[in-house]
């Protein structure tokens, strides 16, 4: 790696090797050549063997991996056209087939079909990582389904929930993302062999006006490239609407990760739940005691970048004049790889964090005990009525003591002494021990949190993960830095 020029951090620091290789120049040009071979084979099989011979196709296949990048780069500087530069470089290795490479095709035949092939494979990597995150969180939710913890609304203490139940909220978001992603994968089709502006005019000439042969060519090329079908109609490119929907789907995964990461940072501040912390990890250069949630912070930043890319894709799609304009080219070269690399980096972090999160039950209990006396006042009120007390009178008494207890907590930094205040009041028919019993069983305050978690996991999550059981636990989540 050169230290003298800018290096893309997504590659040098954050992403998996598999995603990096998928968007490499070698993969792109190798796939261009697969497209040219598929076209030549289809033309041969559909009756153009007198033009495109089997011998030519064999030569193209033999030289498919023999890519002279330097020769192509030099030619591109001369002619200012990357596709034709590689047609030239390929032709230099295939003298017999040189004259039929790219026969009847436009540049977007290789560019669009290759983009679709690469993105289709990239979505598989994303999907595999996503289901591994879901599986990790499902295991965590199941483990902590009984552990009562304070719930928060407006980041203020609310009714208790359980650690497991809270985790189901993140899982549900990711299941929606998985639904959208699987649906998106079904939208991927080949561009096929559509010609310069999508009319297949050149191919119709090659086949002497035989419309059926041209239709078959489109289908056959798509199948040879690994697609069940091609887009029924296109302009010069495949619909950029698909890019927009891809970006939205990946951005949705980023948003789900962002929500989780910010929540974990808040919980880390409360010292109730943390991301894994390596034995030799340094939290701060100045404050040696710190355990900064740096993985969650990194995930937040990467997700912010990913979510911001959707506007680019929408604008690119909306600006495709008539059959196509070239202002989509430069921005897509950057944005498409970035969108997938960002998603890959985010999910890599998410898998890493969710595989070994830390929970601190005693600290959770401490926060509960600070707030439960307030939350238990309704139970105390009902129990008092059962002992013959007036609800309205007891409500007024409890309210006055609650306000007083809240004041010393906020203004004096004292512990919540509401239960002691109520026990010392002769108008309240409970001793300190009796009041303590009312608030001691945290589980009674969590409603159906545990049952909801079990039902959600059993009825929705585990069945959803079942088709993916073979890839669970097999995705690399090691962080480079």
pLDDT (tens digit, 9 = 90+) per residue, 388-427?
888 898 889 888 888 888 888 888 888 888 888 888 888 8
β-bridge partners, 150: 160
Q: How far apart are CA 185 and CA 22, in angstroms?
A: 17
State the greatest distance between any 2 C-alpha atoms of the chain, in Å, as a whole number.
107
191 and 230 Cβ atoms separated by less than 8 Å:
yes
Q: Which residues contact 349 (CB under 8 A, 6 or more apart)?
A: 14, 257, 295, 298, 299, 302, 479
Instruction: Choose the weakest-confidence range: 101-110, 128-137, 173-182, 362-371.
Output: 362-371
Q: Are 174 and 133 in contact (CB under 8 A)?
A: yes
Structure tokens at 359: 């929970």
pLDDT, mean of residues 309-326: 90
Mean pLDDT value across residues 275-301: 70
Q: Tell me: pLDDT of 289 over 60.
A: no
Arithmetic mean of pLDDT, 247-255: 97
Mean pLDDT of 243-269: 97
Name the nearest CA neighbour of 356 among 145, 136, 173: 136
SS3 at position 153: strand
Residue 278: the pLDDT is 61
What is residue 479's predicted lDDT score, i.e. its pLDDT? 64
The catalytic site residues sit at 154, 284
Q: Mean pLDDT across the stretch 269-295?
A: 70
Q: Can you tell me the distance from the alpha carbon of 437 to that of 39, in angstroms, rounded to the nearest whole number?
A: 78
Q: What single DSSP character describes residue 178?
A: H
| Residues sharing a CB contact under 8 Å with residue 140, sequence separation 6 or more, in sequence order | 164, 167, 354, 357
Q: What confidence score (pLDDT) does residue 286 get? A: 47
Predicted pLDDT at 87: 95
CA dihedral of residues 375, 381, 384, 385 (deg, nearest 10): -150
- Tell me how far apart the alpha carbons of residues 428 and 422 are, in angstroms, rounded to a whole number: 6
Angle between helices 107-143 and 240-270 (to 10 degrees): 30
Q: What is the DSSP string of 205-274?
A: HHTTT-HHHHHHHHHHHHHHTT-S-B-S--SSSS-HHHHHHHHHHHHHHHHHHHHHHHHHHHHHHHTSEE
Question: Terminal CA-to-CA distance of the chain, rounded, Å?
Answer: 16
Residue 280 above 70 pLDDT? Answer: no
Between 115 and 15, the more confident residue is 115
Query: Do β-strands 156-162 and 273-274 pair in parallel, antiparallel, or remain unpaired?
Result: unpaired
- Tell me the average pLDDT across 221-247: 94
285 pLDDT more than 50: no
Q: pLDDT per residue over 331-376, tens digit each?
A: 889 999 999 999 999 999 999 999 999 999 999 998 988 887 777 7
Give the domains, in start order, of the chain with CATH numbers.
18-100 (1.10.275.10), 111-190+240-279+288-359 (1.20.200.10), 376-445 (1.10.40.30)
Cα–Cα distance between 136 and 477 in angstroms, integer? 12
Q: Are the CB atoms for 270 and 367 separated by under 8 Å? A: yes
Tens of pLDDT, residue by residue over 169-188, are 999 999 999 999 999 999 99
Residue 287 has pLDDT above 60, yes or no: no
Q: Please report the pLDDT score of residue 329 as a whole number.
A: 87
Distances (CA, A) of 236 to 18, 218, 469: 30, 14, 41
Q: Are the C-beta atoms of residues 180 and 252 closer than 8 Å to each other?
A: yes
pLDDT for the residue numbered 480? 60
Tokens coding 279: 């034995």
Considering only residues 355 and 4, tell me which one the structure prediction assigns the higher pLDDT. 355
C-alpha to C-alpha distance for 182 and 174, rounded to whole angstroms: 12
- C-alpha–C-alpha distance, residues 52 and 101, integer Å: 9
Supply 337's token pair. Answer: 């790889």
pLDDT at 440 exceeding the cut of 90: no
As a whole number of angstroms, the distance between CA 334 and CA 324 comes to 19
Spatial separation of the C-alpha atoms in residues 114 and 95, rounded to whole Å: 24
Query: What integer is the mean pLDDT of 14-21?
Result: 90
* pLDDT grade for 30, boundaries at 50, 70 and 90: very high
Average pLDDT over residues 227-242: 93
pLDDT digits (tens, 9 = 90+) for 441-457: 777 888 899 999 999 99
Judging by beta carbons within 10 Å of its beta carbon (0-12, 13-18, 19+), is residue 140 exposed, middle or buried? buried
Q: Look over the chain and give the mean of its residue pLDDT values, rounded to a whole number.
A: 90
- Please check the confidence at residue 301 and state whether its pLDDT lies above 80: yes
1 pLDDT band, cuts 50/70/90, is low
10 Å CB burial of residue 378 (0-12, 13-18, 19+) is: exposed
């Amino acid at each position: 790696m050169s230290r003298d020029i800018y290096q893309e951090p997504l590659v040098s620091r954050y992403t998996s090797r598999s995603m990096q290789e998928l968007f490499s120049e070698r993969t792109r040009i190798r796939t261009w050549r697969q497209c040219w071979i598929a076209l030549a084979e289809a033309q041969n099989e559909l009756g153009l063997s007198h033009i495109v011979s089997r011998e030519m196709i064999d030569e193209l296949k033999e030289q498919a991996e023999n890519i002279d990048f330097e020769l192509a780069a030099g030619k591109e500087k001369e002619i200012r056209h990357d596709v034709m530069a590689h047609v030239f470089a390929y032709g230099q290795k295939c003298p017999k087939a040189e004259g039929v490479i790219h026969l009847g095709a436009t540049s977007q035949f290789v560019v669009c079909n290759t983009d679709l092939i690469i993105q289709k494979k990239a979505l598989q990597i994303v999907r595999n990582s996503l289901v591994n995150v879901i599986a990790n969180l499902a295991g965590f939710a199941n483990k902590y389904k009984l552990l009562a913890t304070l719930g928060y609304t407006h980041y203020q203490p609310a009714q208790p929930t359980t650690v497991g139940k809270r985790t189901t909220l993140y899982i549900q978001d990711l299941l929606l993302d998985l639904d959208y992603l699987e649906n998106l994968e079904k939208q991927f089709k080949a561009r096929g062999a559509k010609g310069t502006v999508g009319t297949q005019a050149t191919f119709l000439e090659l086949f002497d006006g035989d419309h059926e042969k041209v239709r078959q060519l489109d289908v056959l090329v798509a199948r040879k490239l690994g697609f069940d079908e091609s887009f029924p109609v296109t302009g010069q490119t495949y619909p950029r609407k698909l890019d927009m929907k891809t970006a939205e789907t990946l951005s949705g995964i980023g948003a789900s990760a962002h929500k989780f990461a910010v929540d974990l940072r808040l919980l880390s501040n409360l010292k109730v739940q943390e991301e894994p912390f390596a034995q030799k990890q340094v939290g701060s250069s100045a404050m040696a005691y710190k355990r900064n949630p740096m993985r969650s912070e990194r995930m937040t930043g990467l997700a912010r970048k990913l979510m911001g890319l959707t506007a680019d894709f929408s604008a690119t799609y909306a600006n495709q004049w008539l059959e196509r304009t070239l202002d989509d080219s430069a921005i897509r070269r950057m944005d498409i790889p970035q969108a997938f690399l960002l998603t890959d980096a985010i999910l890599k972090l998410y898998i890493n964090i969710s595989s070994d999160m830390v929970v601190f039950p005693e600290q959770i209990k401490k926060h509960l005990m600070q707030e439960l006396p307030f939350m238990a006042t309704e139970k105390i009120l009902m129990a008092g009525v059962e002992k013959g007390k007036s609800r309205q009178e007891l409500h007024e008494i409890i309210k006055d003591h609650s306000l007083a207890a809240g004041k010393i907590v906020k203004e004096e930094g004292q512990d919540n002494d509401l239960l002691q205040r109520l026990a010392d009041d002769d108008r309240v028919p409970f001793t300190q021990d009796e009041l303590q019993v009312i608030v001691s069983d945290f589980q009674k305050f969590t409603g159906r949190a545990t049952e909801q978690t079990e039902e959600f996991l059993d009825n929705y999550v585990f069945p959803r993960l079942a088709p993916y059981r073979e890839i669970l636990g097999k995705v690399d989540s090691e962080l480079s830095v």
